[in-house]
Amino acid sequence: MGTPATLIVTGFDAQHFDLAQDFADSFRQAYQEQYQLAAVVFGPQAPPPQLSDRFDRITRLDASGPSFDAGRNGYFLAHAGVNARLRDIFPGYASYCWVDADCWFQGDESLPRILAGMPGFDLCIHPEFDVHYLNFPTPSERTLHIYRTNEAANLSAMPLRMPMVNAGVFAMRTDSRVWALWDAELTGLRQRHERGEAVFFSDQIALHKLVYLNQLRI
């Protein structure tokens, strides 16, 4: 189905099958077979046929293990490094676009806009908040808490005052340097976690750090 040029990917578990169904239905209504659609499904429960049939490719991810506590440690997909490893999980595509499963496609305009920027940039992504949302401080309390947890020894060197990126939707070429940087950052967090250090797994905060410290083109 479709062309292998760009793979659209999302991820979800059994608690979010309903959101994923709405996501996939709206995607097919907007784009039919124009793009291939893939899913990373984590947890022991397989998606029902009416959901899995909407996807061209599905991979299952075990979410078990005593060492990860989502209440204290953050997001499982970040702990597993899923977003940073899309080209390894689903090899063979020229580019990848991640869209969170709680999104809904209202029309067919959004994907072409984000995909059009890939040739000239390391990463296609949008800020988390509009600059005119004056009631949202930069950094937010959540951002500051995660940076303090993960980067306490080097907090003054972190890009706390730079706009937060929204990792819920992003696109990259398969040869972008971001993949290796992002994967290494999340791998480092896992190694620290395994040594017993207190860390918080957020792929978005890790990406925010990399964007500004490495002067990535976005």
Within-domain flag for 89: yes
Within-domain flag for 218: no
For position 183, what pLDDT does the model report? Answer: 99
Owner of token pair 């600059």: 131
User: Is there a cis peptide before residue 44, judged by omega within 30 degrees of 0?
Assistant: no
Within-domain flag for 113: yes
Distances (CA, A) of 64 to 42, 76, 111, 150: 9, 10, 33, 23
Within 8 A by CB and 6+ apart from 12, the residues are 19, 20, 39, 41, 42, 101
The whole-angstrom separation of Cα 94 and Cα 105 is: 23
Domain assignment of residue 209, given as a range:
3-213
Within-domain flag for 98: yes
For position 2, what pLDDT does the model report? Answer: 46
Helices and strands (H and E) in the chain: how many: 9, 6
Nearest to 161 by CA among 138, 190, 188, 194: 138
Assign 36 to helix, strand or coil.
strand
Within-domain flag for 193: yes
Q: What is the CATH number of the domain that holds 79?
A: 3.90.550.10
Within-domain flag for 97: yes
For position 150, what pLDDT does the model report? Answer: 98
For position 62, what pLDDT does the model report? Answer: 82
Structural domains in the chain (count): 1
The whole-angstrom separation of Cα 4 and Cα 41 is: 21
The DSSP symbol for 131 reads T
Q: What is the pLDDT along the chain (218 residues), one digit of tens a residue?
A: 444 699 999 999 999 999 999 999 999 999 999 999 999 999 999 999 999 999 999 999 986 555 778 778 999 999 999 999 999 999 999 999 999 999 999 999 999 999 999 999 999 998 887 666 666 778 999 999 999 999 999 999 999 999 999 999 999 999 999 999 999 999 999 999 999 999 999 999 999 999 999 999 99
pLDDT digits (tens, 9 = 90+) for 17-54: 999 999 999 999 999 999 999 999 999 999 999 999 99
Within-domain flag for 132: yes
Rama region for 33: left / alpha / beta (φ>0; ψ in -120 to 50; rest): alpha
Within-domain flag for 103: yes
The whole-angstrom separation of Cα 11 and Cα 57 is: 12
